[in-house]
A and B are shown apart, each in its own frame.
Chain A
């Protein structure tokens, strides 16, 4: 697991107040929304903020977020390709 993956999991837990969750409980390919981690549309907005704050990536369309935020893997891939910081 790359540092980025771990870093992402840590910030997701913190940003989304997933108090009872540990980094190793989130699988890299587990769906973040729906049946997986169970995140919802408010979390999606929080993740958009996280992307901009931590990686300088602007997502203006929440729809685009759906694909990017599929799993930790998809997020990490997207960040690697598009990060400005």
Chain B
């Protein structure tokens, strides 16, 4: 199974403004979780994975006009794709390149800012359309001169993983030769208060897969990868390949995961089947691992079902970045690609003791190992479970 070639990546998160910083943080175990500094919220004690750029710094970096309609997630998205283009050495991206972006709340940061202001003032009404996820993708497309296939997936926390899957399908089917896929989400009061009302935010640094885990940390990020058909790559480097993907629905609860991890198990099984490999061929799993009681247990059971007694080394990198919601799938896709490049896996920070129910131990130190296939999980509200498999280009 050759899979779809990945020839570029760009990322910004609380652990790095570019690939190099990101990679350094991963290797040195540096978490980006802290109290919010730029993000304005009454819950200023809640820990988050914040990107240390203010909106105006992002505006300057992107050279936006005064009356632009970019929400923060849109700016982060454009920033990450700028990185992608630099890393790829593609000066100009052909206008027929497609883009599929995943986001959970798009530009709702603007709506919450101007909700009471819109009726009074005309000045900020240009952000009315910015609320919708599709608008965010359109603005990014316009920024880079992309005019053809532009689409958006919003399936909560699996959004960008699904965008990668759809992009791979578009390349495989020949519908597109080149597509930018990934996602972007920024910290918003809407999501922070939403997760707070669900009582699944930790007051501490999150500890995925730990017996004493007590919830998740939210984060913000944008991450995009470039997928290309083999006949247009030329002599550019292939960073890895998307060989497997699968989506299934847990069909159990609007927000909670099932006790037996059914959706996750089915997604993993589908991805393995698509990649044409056996479960023992997976060398490392980048888990969804949010740090909530419910997710980590359900996902662990899915591991046991899919891998039996031979669960490969796994870790959740959420303790580095926080849960970046719609962007998480793409963030972790890039972490997986870095792992493939460096033949090294990154630790599950803050882990102390295994869960009583499973006794599973994640990787807790940066570990050099031979890696050919990485499984990356992303699960979202609405029972949405997605697994992707990234393979080293041989």
Contact = CB atoms under 8 A, between A and B. Distances in A.
B198 interface: yes
Contacts of B199: 45, 48, 60, 62
Contacts of B198: 45
B253 interface: yes
Contacts of B255: 42
A26 B262 CA distance: 35
A41 interface: yes
A45 B198 CA distance: 7
A60 B203 CA distance: 12
Contacts of B256: 41
A43 to B, nearest CB: 12
Interface string B140-157: 000000000000000000
Main secondary structure, interface of A, reads helix
Of the four ranges (under 10, 10 to 19, 20 to 34, 35 or more), the interface on chain B belongs to under 10
Nearest to B199: A62
A7 to B, nearest CB: 23
B197 interface: yes
B41 interface: no
Interface string B263-305: 0000000000000000000000000000000000000000000
Interface string A22-62: 00000000000000000011100100110000000000101
A49 B254 CA distance: 19
B254 A45 contact: no
Contacts of A49: 197
B251 to A, nearest CB: 15
B253 A45 contact: no
Contacts of A45: 197-199
B197 A41 contact: no
Contacts of A42: 254-255
Nearest to B214: A61
Interface in B170-211: 197-199
A40 B254 CA distance: 11
Nearest to A48: B199
A41 B254 CA distance: 10
Contacts of A48: 199
B259 to A, nearest CB: 12
12 contacts: A40-B253, A41-B253, A41-B256, A42-B254, A42-B255, A45-B197, A45-B198, A45-B199, A48-B199, A49-B197, A60-B199, A62-B199
Given A40-B253, A49-B197, 10 more contacts: A41-B253, A41-B256, A42-B254, A42-B255, A45-B197, A45-B198, A45-B199, A48-B199, A60-B199, A62-B199
